[in-house]
A = this chain, B = another copy of it.
């Protein structure tokens, strides 16, 4: 903390890191398959528009950029230097950067604290690093042993080995700080390929200088381009700081904690050189901090997107009363189970709703919530029922179990001898028309809904390449689609918890104020 407050570039001022005007790549080379060449390739492919200087005493040219022998040749301030060099050269390079007053360094190079357990060199290296850090307190370091950063506002892709264009979506941006490099990269790819925007991504590595808490504070309090924060945590080095920062942040913070079990903590020690504490301790810290814990990266993206969409549309749930629509009883029962497990109330239907549905539906409908139409392919009725549900006062949120993507699931029909091809064609066309009708009715509905609607749809997952335009259309209209019912109910429960917590916080602040 001391160092952070002393340096010019404290967390309130990480702008030069995320919007660097001048970037140097130390260890740049002509071979695009090696880290040093690839760094240049990915910066250019990522559309970085600032001044880019490949640096290597060996010289040469890479992608029309002349490789200069030394930092000293660079005119003006250097905001960011990326170090893609072997471990043996790191210290002299860092010293050179400090002499040139480079503002931020990213050190990809591994072989530091994470090797302490099995080689004897770490204590020597650590001493040397600490001495260096204090040499110029205005040079701040990301890493070592990190994959780097990406930042949409400057089209900066400085993530080692990752070929992506950072891209945001207006008011729908996730920023990620991760103690795992691959987690940073995977969450960024999933977000930008699945209709969530990315503002910043940082892989923090060994955190010998800047750490996860610093980036959390920046994203949460000083970075307007970030709407939702994602954290991949192996170890919190500054627990009390974490609690102080989270208490000030009003944005949703979604957390993956790796190393929750003793066995996992041991594995984490080897990976980042940090020893995770017990699951229980973290559980209570997270609860106190009001962060949202998830178990995997696809979940992180699904949760982040739901928060981003419903916050932007200003239709966060006002309670936890769920209305379920289904055309299959088994699915309705399983959905009710998952709701109950998440503390959501599958409330009874009001007399008013019952009367409206009785008027609309044949007598066989379930007469309770879940509203079960038994089996229908008539989406005009579906739309009417869902409209009754979004207007019903007894519901705060809606889960429609509908066969979204059924044309894709069922589309490939077998050719059978003796069956005229027209029947198969008819079936295929029917499925397509059926799906289009479902989409049309759903989109009409969403426009008037003041409640969050989440659709569980087994053919969609952020794990997958994004193939289905319909789902993108739904996102843009303000309907979340997630892979399964479990995820649907977990997200809805957390949306409400977040609203409830913010509300109580506000009331406390008001009562203190008076």
Contact = CB atoms under 8 A, between A and B. Distances in A.
Interface in A218-254: 232, 234
A318 to B, nearest CB: 20
Given A271-B372, A458-B463, A465-B408, A258 B333 contact: yes
Nearest to A486: B295
Nearest to A370: B267
A330 B183 contact: yes
Interface string A408-421: 11111110101100
Nearest to A261: B340
A329 interface: yes
Contact of A330 (B115, B180, B341): B180
Interface string A395-412: 000000000000011111
A355 interface: no
Interface string A469-486: 000000000000001111
Interface stretch (A41-49, A92-100, A124-132): A41-49
A393 to B, nearest CB: 20
Contacts of A178: 330
A179 interface: yes
Interface residues of A, number: 89
Given A266-B368, A346-B263, A486-B296, A180 B329 contact: yes
A329 B295 contact: no
Contacts of A110: 364, 374
B118 A367 contact: yes
A154 B295 CA distance: 45
B463 A483 contact: yes
A461 interface: yes
Interface in A398-454: 408-414, 416, 418-419, 423, 427
B461 A180 contact: no
A372 B270 contact: yes
Contacts of A179: 330
Contacts of A503: none
Interface string A263-296: 1101110111000000000000000000000011
A502 interface: no
Nearest to A340: B261
Given A409-B465, A465-B459, A483-B463, A267 B419 contact: no
9 closest cross-chain pairs (CB), A and B = A180-B330, A271-B329, A458-B463, A261-B340, A264-B337, A182-B328, A258-B333, A263-B340, A267-B336
A262 interface: yes
A510 interface: no
Contacts of A117: 367-368
10 contacts: A44-B419, A115-B363, A119-B363, A183-B331, A189-B410, A259-B333, A264-B336, A267-B366, A267-B369, A459-B465
A392 to B, nearest CB: 17
Contacts of A10: none
B465 A180 contact: no
A308 to B, nearest CB: 22
A442 to B, nearest CB: 20
Given A163-B413, A263-B340, A267-B368, 12 more contacts: A44-B416, A47-B416, A118-B367, A163-B427, A182-B329, A261-B341, A263-B346, A264-B337, A267-B370, A271-B330, A271-B332, A408-B465
Interface string A330-368: 111110110111000110000000000000000110111
A59 B64 CA distance: 81
Contacts of A163: 410, 413, 427
> A41, A261, A264, A458: which has the most chain B beta carbons within 10 Å?
A264
A161 interface: yes
Interface in A27-83: 32, 41, 44-45, 47, 63-64
A260 interface: yes
Contact of A423 (B32, B256, B268, B463): B32
A45 B416 contact: yes
A34 B366 CA distance: 23
A464 interface: yes
Given A183-B330, A267-B346, A333-B259, A414 B459 contact: no
A189 B411 CA distance: 12
A337 B260 contact: yes
A267 B368 CA distance: 8
A298 interface: yes
B263 A336 contact: yes
A334 B261 CA distance: 9
A111 interface: yes
A64 B420 CA distance: 11
